[in-house]
Structure 1
Amino acid sequence: MKRLRLFLLLAAFGAGLFQLHAATSLWRVSSGETSLYLGGTFHLLRASDFPLPEAFDAAYADSTTVVFETDLGAMQSPQVQQRMLAQCALGGGETLRALLSPEVYAKLEAHCQKAGLALAAMEGFKPALVVITLAVVELQKVGIAEEGVDMHYYNRAQADGKAVRGLETPQEQIDFICSMGEGDEDAFVLHAIRDLEESVQHLPELITAWRRGDLETLEREFVSEMKRDFPRLYRSLLVERNRAWLPKIEALLETAETELVLVGGAHLPGEDGLLAQLQARGYRVEQFDIAAAPAP
């Protein structure tokens, strides 16, 4: 696993190696007498990846509110979907073929054909939407379902009548999605399609690292190479969004309630990650180990 798992990060918008571990990608953040749970997630999983680590269920049961990156229900609505398609459309008669170099376009076309996608039908859209579509199709071929950790707990919260909130609005997420790769389209597309086959091959290892809360592996595979090879994407995908979320997470720590905050796993590790940033602000951050937690 030597290249950035950009392919998996894109599918997040958006494991066979199932093992039980007490510690997982879940942390307890405390300030005095108040606390919340902060969990890193995989947005898309296979049926074999369930049940999820027991610690997530324990944190969910202990929380009155579940906070996601955005309003997941709204993101699935036809109105928001249409808004995203409109915003991700190329304007002024521009086409994908004209935007990309002939070499990169040919490689993208070949991958789309292999996946059973008609690139001609997506000529009027920005590269980000095309690559996301390709990534989702390829993941579905290896049994990845649309329900990952986030949607699993969103559906449970809806059924249980728990309050749900978002760290950013659907429009903010649309703005981010549609702007990915702008100004660096060839490199963005080329890296994504080169990463495709290797990402699928090593998916079980990546999910195992997530299940274990292995920050070193998650940082190496999802953060370090993005920071080096795609500094603008790194800033927009992780740094800027993390900075925007921090005050909202801090506000949650001022309430008497306990919240479960779920964000993509790439937002947690590294010096710009939420865990390090919260520690730097003086909060106590501990990996939640259900085996070591006191009995209720």
Structure 2
Amino acid sequence: MISKKRWLLSVVLVVLVTVTACQSQDEMTRLAESEHEGNGGFLWEVVHGDTTVYLQGTIHIGQEDFFPLNTASEAAYKRADVILPEIDLNALDIEEIQPMTMELALYEDGSKLQDHISPELYNDITELLSMYGFDMQMIENLRPWYVEMILTEMIAADAGYDTNYSVDQYFLDRADEDGKEVQALENFEDQLQMFANFSPQLQEETLSAAVNDREELVDEYTNLVSYWLDGDVEGMLDMETENEEFDGYQEYMSQMNDARNMEMAAQIQQIFEENSGQTYMVIVGTMHFILEPSIVSLLEDEGYDVVHVY
């Protein structure tokens, strides 16, 4: 999807699948060989040498009744020694990230938002913000990419979904509770830099989509959640195909998907080369596993056997 969101979540009580901790790899039944049920699809398993990596596709919004997830994902988490998210949200220091964010989100040359977008789009934003009880003065110094992030969070709430119930944060909070090691695949500053470095034309275009296609985006959120809960790969890919129409699609996807997938796949490959004998669980947005070049296909190209579990 065009939209981009932050990910926050509350701890939810879950029922875990019991797995005996002392089982060896030979004794352990691979998740792919058993039946599973429950919410949320998009789980892959890669075994190489003495090391196992689970690839869990997530969405960055949710509802409380998502959890617990399907038995395969719960079992994968239970077995994992190390959790690998895009960003370790629980390790972020607000005092550090606020000035970093504002440095990239604010115009520092004295110009304002209305100086960088069309008058028509500026008027549309004014009308939309008034519906939410906001005054334009609150965002007049912000760049388009950050205004879009604010608006898409509002639209997600309109659709009935809460960033406080993202699948990513669900596992991160549990990892903290259980004392599991967490190793982030990306860092917060790099993600901010990516958004801020999109061309002015692309920033205006994605902002325009968030403003003028608000009702369609509400429907997209509903479809996204439905496809994710059902593990519907084709449904999610069809949603992305619809987005190919906008002019900056190639620029957007080369940074949002392609470059990031290559870097994350390289890090996973390094884990296999180290062959620590541990079990890892990667938790990143589902599109990173199904949209080409995907993390799954990149690992397969390197000769790894990637099994779709659920």
The two structures have a TM-score, normalised by structure 2, of 0.82
- Contact preservation (8 Å) 1:227, 1:234: no
Letter of the structure 2 residue corresponding to residue 6 of structure 1: I
Alignment: residue pair count: 277
Percentage of pairs with the same residue = 25
Aligned position for 1:113: 130
Task: Name which of 279, 282, 302 aligns with 1:258.
Answer: 279
Offset, 1:132:
0.7
- Contact preservation (8 Å) 2:44, 2:55: yes
Offset, 1:150:
0.6
Q: Distance in 2 between matches of 1:126 and 1:23?
A: 35
Moved more, 259-268 or 140-149: 140-149
Aligned position for 2:177: 159
Q: Distance in 2 between matches of 1:232 and 1:215?
A: 24
Q: Distance in 2 between matches of 1:84 and 1:216?
A: 35
Moved more, 243-252 or 211-220: 211-220
Aligned position for 1:47: 64
Counterpart mapping for 1:1-296 below 5 A: 5-7=1-3, 10-12=4-6, 20-21=37-38, 24-75=41-92, 77-145=94-162, 146-180=164-198, 182-222=200-240, 224-229=241-246, 230-254=249-273, 255-289=276-310
- Contact preservation (8 Å) 1:25, 1:213: yes
- Contact preservation (8 Å) 1:27, 1:39: yes
Bigger Rg, structure 1 or 2: 2
Q: Which runs of 5+ in 1 are unaligned?
A: 15-19, 290-296
RMSD: 2.2
Give 3-state SS (helix, strand or coil) of 1:283's partner: coil
Moved more, 279-288 or 190-199: 190-199
Give 3-state SS (helix, strand or coil) of 1:11's partner: coil
- Contact preservation (8 Å) 1:68, 1:263: yes
- Contact preservation (8 Å) 1:112, 1:119: yes
Q: Which runs of 5+ in 2 are unaligned?
A: 9-36
Aligned position for 1:294: none
- Contact preservation (8 Å) 2:124, 2:212: no
Moved more, 154-163 or 196-205: 196-205
Offset, 1:59:
0.7
Offset, 1:247:
1.2
Q: Distance in 1 between matches of 2:213 and 2:59?
A: 18
Offset from partner CA, 1:66-100 (integer Å, 9 cap, x none): 00002212346232133112221112112100100
Offset, 1:12:
4.8
Letter of the structure 1 residue corresponding to residue 280 of structure 2: E
Offset, 1:33:
4.1
Q: Distance in 2 between matches of 1:86 and 1:204?
A: 34
Offset, 1:23:
7.7
TM-aligned CA distance change 1:281 to 1:56, over 3 Å? same
Give 3-state SS (helix, strand or coil) of 1:30's partner: strand
Moved more, 113-122 or 62-71: 113-122
Give 3-state SS (helix, strand or coil) of 1:184's partner: helix
Give 3-state SS (helix, strand or coil) of 1:157's partner: helix
